[in-house]
Structure 1
Amino acid sequence: MADAHPFSGEPATTREAIMQATFHALREHGYAGLTIQRIGDHFEKSKSLLYHHYDSKDELLLDFLEFMLAEFEQAAPDDDLPPREHLDAVLDHALAAKLPDDQREFTEAMVELRAQAAHDDRYRDHFTRSDETFREEVASIVRDGVNAGVFRDVDPDDVASFLLTLVNGAMNQRVTAEETQTGDVREEVEAYVQSRLLADE
């Protein structure tokens, strides 16, 4: 997975520029204080382009989330990695002990948007698909490990669901609580991998 959010460089297209402006405005104002006008303040081109492409703040934010889902899929670890190393790469990224400031701000923005799914079906649909993308990736890794004899004969879907729930919980805690022990959680996950997943040598 990428080590930084996709808005750290210069945008190559108008859509990328809009997505970058949306990220910076969301980070600055939060969901409640966000308006298309405030997104426009971070957009170097004509603000009329925003109103031309999007009728509302939520329509723009839902496109932002679609953009992020595509970025996540492209930034996934190399499929050519062996199953154990592949799983480690995913977990090391998702459960990093410390986040750089820009990644923390990005995580805060995503958690705030995810909260909208509690009462908006459009957001719920997006995050359901986003979760399924992560779940399928992990299940595929575990399945490959089982077939290769690296992992025990576990149910890949059950393992993936467990790890998804843990990662989502860690992501929410690290941006909504004063202190987090994500590094300790990563160590416990490693103990789980060794005792539950790794096949006996």
Structure 2
Amino acid sequence: MSDDTIDELMEATYRALCKQGYASLRMQDIADESSKSKAALHYHFDSKEELLRSFLEFLYDRMEQRLENEVASGREDPAATLLEVVEGKMKSSEDSPETEFRTAMLELKAEAPYNETFREELIEFEELIVGEIRRLIEAGIDDGSVREDVSPEKTAQFIYTYVGGADVRQISTGRPTTCSRKQLRSFMDQQLFTDDVTGDSE
């Protein structure tokens, strides 16, 4: 399968998930969003589960590249980059144009306890994000912008869990993340950073 075909099918899967959600998603829905027939999809993927596994791998590759670019561009100021990454994620959970997709992903995550394939893919996502947060904290310790007594791994795990929980709450109840974002910023200012770090906490 060519790269162009892969990209087309992954983009079609994204659009179909946004419209149908995970539970109602059919192979025909994905075919309807692409130039390929349902039979062509089944030629490349034996099942919806296999296609979604490939879709998660596709998202992983994109996220990995985006995080690498963000971290690379912030090597001179790891603390500010960390704040930008974390607050950017929390801000994106309010009034997002991708609300439907985030809801579909939440459905998919709910399947993970019963689906080993999804669970393994989501674990890789977690390890990727936690790893990038940890490396920014380690770089901050090295340059003095993050306190020396901070545990990079434990703090990265906490931030990831907190942001993920706020995102789930916003999707599930529609409540804004404003308060959660302010509290996380307060934690980072008081418990993580050694000096004031530029960033919008509003």
Give the alignment's TM-score, normalised by structure 2. 0.87
**Counterpart selection for 1:96 from 87, 91, 99:** 91
**Counterpart selection for 2:33 from 31, 38, 42:** 42
Separation in 1, partners of 2:131, 2:92: 24
* Distance apart, 1:20 and its partner CA: 1.2
Kept in 1: contact 2:112–2:119 (CA 8 A): yes
Task: Tell me if 1:22 matches 2:24.
Answer: no
Separation in 1, partners of 2:195, 2:11: 47
Q: Which stretch shows the higher mean deviation, 71-80 or 114-123? A: 71-80
AA aligned to 1:79 is A
Corresponding residue number in structure 2 for 1:7: none
| SS, match of residue 194 in structure 2 | coil
**Counterpart selection for 1:178 from 169, 174, 183:** 174
Query: Which blocks of at least 5 consecutive residues in structure 1 are unaligned?
Result: 1-11
Corresponding residue number in structure 1 for 2:65: 74
Separation in 2, partners of 1:39, 1:190: 40
**Any idea what the Cα deviations from partners look like across 1:74-98, whole Å, max 9, x if unmatched?**
1121423111111012112211065
Separation in 2, partners of 1:148, 1:111: 37
Kept in 1: contact 2:102–2:171 (CA 8 A): yes
**Counterpart selection for 2:109 from 111, 114, 139:** 114
Q: CA RMSD in A?
A: 1.8
* Distance apart, 1:124 and its partner CA: 0.8
Q: State, as a whole percentage, how many aligned pairs show the same letter.
A: 31
Structure-to-structure mapping, 1:112-191, within 5 angstroms: 112-153=107-148, 154-180=150-176, 182-191=177-186
| SS, match of residue 185 in structure 1 | helix
**Any idea what the Cα deviations from partners look like across 1:35-57, whole Å, max 9, x if unmatched?**
11121111123433211110000
| SS, match of residue 79 in structure 1 | helix
**Any idea what the Cα deviations from partners look like across 1:126-167, whole Å, max 9, x if unmatched?**
111100101000000000001111110111001000001011
Separation in 1, partners of 2:102, 2:174: 15
Separation in 1, partners of 2:195, 2:71: 26
Residues matched between the structures, number: 189
Separation in 2, partners of 1:98, 1:134: 17
